[in-house]
């Protein structure tokens, strides 16, 4: 049955990739035929399974952690960015496993959707869970940040060894304190006050109200001491290091800090120099600060999944952006949060696109930010954008939601998809 299931799933994967891009379909079929496939294949890896979850930064932290572990000579199984639901994880397994379901890896690092974390932990039990943050995210889906906290607490309790948290996010600190009090091993990464002050809006944690201030009585293994643009200073077990990350901004530094914290705990012969090199050479994850080329024009994609991701990205720009392309569609069911954003980094918008473009127009009107045309169709909007916006130093800028990011990449001829 095992051989049959993997063979069928691999054929399906081959067929779906013929049309370009990837699909979660092979993973869906694999889990239907072999519900324990993930546990059987990954549960026996010598260094175990790490889940990376939280509101934002999952993909980048997963990518950074994977890079650090590989730099230490470890063979790492991981899922592509965004393929963080059960079928996405199983699809990644279909791509990497032999027909017998064996994976040539020492450790698995899995990006896991925060809502599906408890369910995925039933499919493969994590040894470690890394929680990046709890921010205001997808309220249409979660209702409120407290629901995410409860899901992550449930997942954290399932970790066989322990949990790594961002000890400067009061919500994940409270989560760590709760798990620590319940007997779990908890490790934390912290961000110094000056480093937090490097971004106008700090860590943008969700406003949650606890009966008493959360206190996590665990020493921080990694401390981010300073952030300036892409330059990040850290201390790992008291040893200082400087890193030039591929991307600017406090949020990337936090992702790097969490990756360092987890790697330093799980790798026996952890070497900071190797880790720093891996972080400096880490490839940008899809759409997160990625620059694509369309009709001969370079366009830097900035993703706005939610208020915190929009805000930290806007905060990371050193000067106000002009002639920006903004596209939002139904992938953001309720864009109300845009009205909470500090848009002082937006000097002007060239084209508004997508089915929620008019709601963005209302924000820009009330903020007095000039904008050009509204073209609901994304392809037509993108064409107008590259034709009309004059050349400038560096790439043009597009601020898009996840679905528009994927669509624009496809329009620009970038065929590979997340979750493949």
Structure tokens at 346: 């937006």
Structure tokens at 329: 């569609």
| 293 sits near another protein (criterion: CB under 8 A) | no
| 348 sits near another protein (criterion: CB under 8 A) | no
Dihedral sign of CA atoms 368, 373, 378, 384 in order: negative
Choose which of 122, 228, 298, 334 interacts with another protein (CB under 8 A): 334
Which among 47-55, 59-67, 316-324, 335-343 is the span making contact with another protein, rule CB under 8 A? 335-343
Q: Is 183 left (phi over 0), alpha (psi -120 to 50) or beta?
A: left
Choose which of 283, 296, 366, 413 interacts with another protein (CB under 8 A): 366
Q: Nearest distance from residue 333's CB to another protein, in Å?
A: 7
Instruction: Provide φ and ψ at 210, rounded to 5°.
Output: -105, 155
Tell me whether residue 41 or residue 138 sits nearer to another protein (CB atom): 138
Structure tokens at 24: 């979660």
Judged by CB under 8 A, how many residues of this single chain contact another protein?
32
Q: How far apart are CA 47 and CA 30, in angstroms?
A: 24
Q: Nearest distance from residue 150's CB to another protein, in Å?
A: 10
Choose which of 35, 355, 403, 411 interacts with another protein (CB under 8 A): 355
Dihedral sign of CA atoms 247, 367, 324, 81 in order: positive
Q: How far apart are CA 390 and CA 101, in angstroms?
A: 53
Beta strands at 239-244 and 231-236: parallel, antiparallel or unpaired: antiparallel
Please name the helix (run of DSSP H) or strand (run of DSSP E) that holds residue 400, with its range, or none: strand 396-400
Choose which of 44, 98, 242, 336 interacts with another protein (CB under 8 A): 336
Inter-residue contact 90 to 27 (CB < 8 Å): yes
Tell me whether residue 340 or residue 416 sits nearer to another protein (CB atom): 340
Q: How many angstroms separate the Cα of 104 from the Cα of each of 36, 65, 113, 170, 305?
A: 18, 18, 24, 38, 34
Which among 132-140, 261-269, 320-328, 402-410 is the span making contact with another protein, rule CB under 8 A? 132-140
| 33 sits near another protein (criterion: CB under 8 A) | no
| 44 sits near another protein (criterion: CB under 8 A) | no
Interface mask (CB under 8 A) for another protein, residues 141-180, using x and -? x-xxxx----------------------------------
Structure tokens at 312: 């930290």
Which among 151-159, 291-299, 326-334, 401-409 is the span making contact with another protein, rule CB under 8 A? 326-334
Choose which of 32, 339, 388, 392 interacts with another protein (CB under 8 A): 339
| 349 sits near another protein (criterion: CB under 8 A) | no
> Which residue ranges make up the site for another protein (CB under 8 A)?
136, 139-141, 143-146, 206-210, 330, 333-340, 355-356, 358-359, 361-363, 365-366, 374
């Amino acid at each position: 049955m095992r051989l049959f299931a993997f063979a069928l799933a691999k054929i399906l994967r081959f067929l779906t990739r013929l049309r370009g891009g990837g699909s979660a379909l092979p993973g869906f079929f694999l889990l239907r035929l072999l519900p324990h496939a993930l546990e059987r294949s990954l549960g026996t890896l010598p260094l175990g399974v790490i889940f990376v979850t939280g509101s934002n930064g999952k993909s980048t932290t997963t990518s950074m952690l994977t890079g650090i572990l590989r730099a230490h000579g470890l063979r790492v199984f991981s899922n592509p960015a965004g393929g963080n639901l059960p079928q996405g994880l199983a699809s990644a397994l279909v791509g990497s496993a032999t027909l017998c379901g064996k994976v040539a890896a020492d450790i698995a690092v899995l990006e896991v959707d925060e809502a599906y974390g408890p369910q995925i932990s039933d499919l493969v039990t994590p040894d470690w869970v890394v929680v990046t943050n709890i921010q205001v995210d997808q309220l249409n889906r979660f209702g409120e940040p407290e629901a995410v906290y409860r899901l992550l607490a449930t997942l954290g309790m399932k970790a066989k060894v322990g949990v790594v948290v961002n000890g400067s996010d009061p919500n994940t600190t409270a989560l760590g304190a709760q798990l620590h009090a319940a007997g779990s091993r908890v490790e934390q990464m912290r961000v110094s006050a000056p480093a937090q002050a490097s971004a106008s809006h700090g860590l943008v944690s969700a406003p949650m109200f606890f009966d008493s201030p959360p206190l996590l009585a665990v020493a921080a293994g990694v401390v981010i001491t300073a952030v300036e643009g892409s330059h990040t200073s850290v201390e790992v077990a008291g040893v200082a290091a400087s890193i030039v990350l591929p991307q600017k901004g406090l949020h990337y530094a936090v992702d790097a800090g969490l990756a360092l914290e987890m790697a330093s705990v799980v790798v026996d012969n952890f070497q900071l120099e190797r880790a720093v090199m891996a972080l400096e050479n880490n490839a940008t994850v899809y759409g997160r600060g990625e620059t694509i080329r369309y009709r001969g024009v370079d366009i830097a994609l900035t993703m706005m999944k939610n208020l915190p991701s929009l805000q930290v990205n806007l905060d990371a720009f050193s000067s106000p952006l002009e002639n920006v392309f903004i596209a939002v569609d139904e992938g953001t069911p309720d864009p109300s949060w845009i009205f909470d954003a500090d848009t002082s980094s937006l000097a002007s918008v060239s084209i508004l696109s997508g089915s929620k473009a008019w709601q963005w127009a209302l924000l820009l009107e009330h903020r007095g930010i000039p904008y050009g045309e509204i073209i609901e169709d994304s392809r037509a909007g993108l064409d107008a954008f590259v034709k009309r916006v004059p050349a400038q130093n560096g790439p043009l800028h597009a601020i898009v939601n996840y679905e528009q990011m994927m669509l624009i990449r496809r329009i620009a001829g970038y065929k590979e998809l997340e979750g493949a």
